[in-house]
Each structure stands twice: as C-alpha cells, then as structure tokens.
C-alpha cells in the first residue's frame, strides 16, 4: 500500500526551495512512486497551494491546504513532510504531530531547543512516527567509512579532526533571501545548518561528544564573530543594505567522544569551521580519523556539505593510510542505481524516505527521529551557552 504524503512548503514563488530540488524529484521518480503518493499540499494559503500544484504538475486530485489544522485533520494523509523556513516548522507541523500523524521535518527541527522539546513531547504523547532531515548519516560516504572502521582496518579510533569552510558561498555577502542567516533567533544559519549537518555525520560515525568529564576533560566550544557586518545583495546583484550579524562565523568545538566499539574510550573529536571560502586550492572539508594502525581521510574539494547533498563534479574522496606499509589506498564508494537517476540533492533525501518505508515493515531504523534532533539541538545550545555576539 502506498504511503500518502502531504508536502508543506512546496512553493511556486519561493526564492529557495529544498522541497522542489531535494524531495520532489525522489517522490515523482519510479522508485519514489513505488512507495509514496503525494495527496496534499500545504502553503500559506489555499490559493498558493493550488498554484504550486499546477506549477509542479502534481495530480489534480492533490488537496490544497492553507491551514495546518485542516491538514492535520485529513484522514487521507499518512506522512506530513515539512520544508518551510526553520522558524515556521513548529507552527506548521505541531497540529499534525498532536493528531498522531507521522511527520518528516527538515533540519533544524525548530528554531530553538524549547520548541523542539515541545514537538518531541507532543509526538511522545500522540505516538506518531518522526523523521528529521539529517540525511548525511545515511549517505554512502558515511556508510563506507563506518564499514572500514568496523572491519578494523585502522584499529581502534584514537582521535578525529574536521577542518571545514563554507556554510555560505561567500564570507561577507549574502543574497537577500538568506539574510536571516545573520540572525540567531531565526534558527537557520551557518552554525545550525552548515556546521550541524556535518557534525551529525561525523558523530554518527565516531560517536557523540560527551557532556560529562572524561579523564578530567569535557567538550568545549570556542566561537568568534569575525565579520559582524554582512552585506546583503539583491536579486539583480546590487548591494541593498548591511545587516549586523548575531551568528558566529568561526566555530571550534573539541572534546572526548563516546562511540561504538571501534572507538577508544576518551578519543578526542576536534571540529573547526570558518564561514565562507577556503584558501584557493584548498579543500572545503578534510575529515581525518586517526587509528592505532592507520588513518582515514575524507576530503571534499569544493563543498563542505557534499556528503549531505552530493556533488557530482567534485565528489568526496575517501583514502586510508596504512601505517605499517606506509601506503595510501583510495576507497571507492557509489550511489545506488536508483539514486544515480536523481539530481544530487535528492539522493540522500530519497534514502531517508526509503529508510522510513523499510521501518514501517519492521526494519532497523537508521534515520534521525525528533528525539535525535532534540539531542542535537541541546548539544548545539550547550556549546554556545557562554557566547554572545
């Protein structure tokens, strides 16, 4: 039986639309159609929803909604999928969560810890399933690195280090549609999106940073706002204004992790991200995992989030250095055949849908839930606890 999907935030006029670039290609593909059917669409108004249904050539039977409560009351919807800006997640999905529907929310789950916690509590009471768009943890790159570690090829993990650049295309300029990235209270920015996505992938492999001291050490964050004034560029390329930023653009977190059996107790994870471009010729991401017998290096040449969203022109590269032989081997990875037919942003998102469908059959759940998302929200907030712009 097909899983009946309602999309929130698929807009014909949006400046940026993750729904149309990452969710719709999978749902309308043969692979997606074999498991899912789009039956409803919620936008800011019924008229806007109708316009999007026509624009994206969705079935005429798709029900348009402008009210989250009305969508929540629709018995023909099995799974609600939210793709709005983060500060609108809570208001658009809470009615469906309370109604006990399954909800797939993009990351971040909400604009802050408090709203994320309410959603987790509501879902717990209502009993609905939940999925969060931390798709990097089910990517073929992350899966391949885990497999190498589980094989014991580099022995126990002793430490891991991430050096990253990006989160936005430019270090001091933002397009008008992303001006909210400068405002911490909105909840969507380089820290909660760029850093947090990669952070989730890394921790899903080597373990979570611990909050309690291990060997007298605990996890600490150090942040800096290097560029407190950001230039905003209009659609025509002209600069329209400057905005005072309240989000750090240099992020450093270091501390011990608690991980799987292949990770030594008290192993250290260090993560540094600087917003904007890297030095010319340098990779956007270098993630190293140092073990007893060798070291793994994951390198992304052009995009810090290529593990999450893919990059066919410059895909991530996995290499292993064997200490005893002093040789370096490249570890090949690839997309599933059905993923290769999709645009790169839709491939890992498609895998989340696949994992959800498998979970309904009683299979092992590998995707992040609302509870997992709350743990990430709390972790991010804890690191920032003593920092202010």
What percent of the chain stands above pLDDT 90? 86
Q: Is 272 left (phi over 0), alpha (psi -120 to 50) or beta?
A: beta
Q: Which of 53, 28, 125 is nearest to 353 (CA)?
A: 28
Residues 190/275, Cβ–Cβ less than 8 Å? yes
Q: Which of 16, 4, 12 is nearest to 86 (CA)?
A: 16
pLDDT at 1: 82
pLDDT at 369 over 90: yes
Concatenated DSSP letters of 299-339: EESS-TTHHHH--SSS--EEEEEETTTTEEEEEP----HHH
Q: For residues 120 and 213, which has the higher predicted lDDT (pLDDT)?
A: 120
pLDDT at 218: 80
pLDDT at 241 over 70: yes
pLDDT at 217: 66
What domains can be seen in the chain, in order of their start residue?
3-133 (3.40.50.720), 136-334 (3.30.360.10)
Computed over every residue of the chain, the mean pLDDT equals: 94
How large is the average pLDDT for residues 10-38?
A: 91
Say how many residues make up the chain: 389
How many Å apart are CA 40 and CA 5, to the nearest integer? 7
HEC string of 201-245 equals HHHHHHCEECCCCECCECCEEEEECCCCEEEEECCCCCEEEEEEC
What are the Cα distances from residue 9, in Å, to 22, 41, 54, 231? 12, 8, 15, 27
How large is the average pLDDT for residues 195-201?
A: 97
Residue 365, burial from CB neighbour count under 10 angstroms (0-12, 13-18, 19+): middle
pLDDT at 213 over 60: no
pLDDT at 39: 98
What are the Cα distances from residue 342, in Å, to 26, 140, 348? 7, 15, 10
- Please state the pTM of the whole predicted model: 0.95
What are the Cα distances from residue 107, in Å, to 21, 267, 377? 16, 28, 10
Q: Which of 288, 296, 259 is nearest to 271 (CA)?
A: 288
How many Å apart are CA 294 and CA 327, to the nearest integer? 10
Each residue of 140-172: pLDDT tens digit? 999 999 999 999 999 999 999 999 999 998 999
Concatenated DSSP letters of 241-268: EEEE--S-SEEEEEEEEE--TTEEEEEE
pLDDT at 306 over 70: yes
What percent of the chain stands above pLDDT 70? 98
Each residue of 70-96: pLDDT tens digit? 999 999 999 999 999 999 999 999 999
Lowest mean pLDDT among 9-13, 50-54, 198-202, 350-354: 9-13
The CA-based angle 284-289-294, given to 5 degrees, is 125
């Amino acid at each position: 039986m097909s899983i009946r999907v309602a999309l929130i935030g698929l807009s014909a006029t949006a400046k940026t639309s993750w729904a149309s670039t990452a969710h719709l290609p999978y749902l309308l593909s043969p692979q997606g159609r074999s498991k899912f059917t789009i039956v409803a669409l919620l936008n800011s108004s019924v008229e806007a929803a109708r316009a999007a249904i026509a624009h994206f050539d969705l079935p005429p039977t798709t029900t348009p909604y402008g009210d989250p409560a009305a969508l929540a009351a629709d018995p023909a919807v099995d799974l609600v999928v939210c793709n709005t800006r983060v500060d609108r997640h809570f208001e658009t999905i809470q009615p469906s969560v309370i109604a006990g529907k399954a909800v797939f929310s993009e990351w971040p789950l909400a604009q802050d810890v408090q709203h994320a916690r309410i959603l987790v509590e509501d879902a717990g009471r209502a009993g609905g399933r939940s999925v969060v768009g931390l798709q990097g943890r089910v990517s073929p790159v992350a899966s391949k690195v885990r497999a190498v570690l589980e094989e014991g090829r580099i022995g126990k993990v002793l430490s891991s280090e991430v050096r990253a650049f990006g989160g936005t295309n430019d270090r001091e300029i933002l397009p008008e549609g992303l001006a909210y990235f400068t405002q911490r209270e909105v909840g969507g920015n380089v820290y909660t999106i760029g850093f947090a996505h990669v952070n989730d992938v890394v921790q899903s492999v080597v373990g979570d940073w611990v909050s309690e001291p291990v060997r007298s050490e605990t996890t600490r964050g150090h942040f800096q706002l290097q560029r407190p004034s950001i230039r905003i560029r209009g659609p025509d390329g002209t600069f329209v204004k400057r905005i005072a930023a309240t989000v750090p653009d240099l992020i450093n977190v270091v501390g011990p992790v608690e991980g799987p059996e292949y990770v030594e107790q008290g192993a250290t994870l260090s993560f540094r991200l600087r917003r904007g471009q890297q030095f010319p010729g340098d990779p956007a991401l270098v993630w190293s995992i140092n073990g007893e017998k060798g070291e793994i290096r994951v390198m992304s040449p052009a995009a810090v989030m290529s593990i999450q969203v893919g990059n066919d022109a410059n895909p991530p590269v996995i290499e292993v250095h064997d200490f005893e032989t002093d040789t370096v081997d490249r570890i090949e990875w690839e997309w599933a055949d059905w993923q290769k037919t999709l645009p790169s942003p839709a491939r890992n998102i498609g895998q989340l849908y696949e994992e959800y469908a498998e979970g309904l059959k009683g299979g092992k759940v590998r995707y992040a839930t609302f509870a997992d998302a709350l743990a990430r929200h709390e972790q991010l907030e804890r690191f920032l606890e003593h920092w202010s712009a």
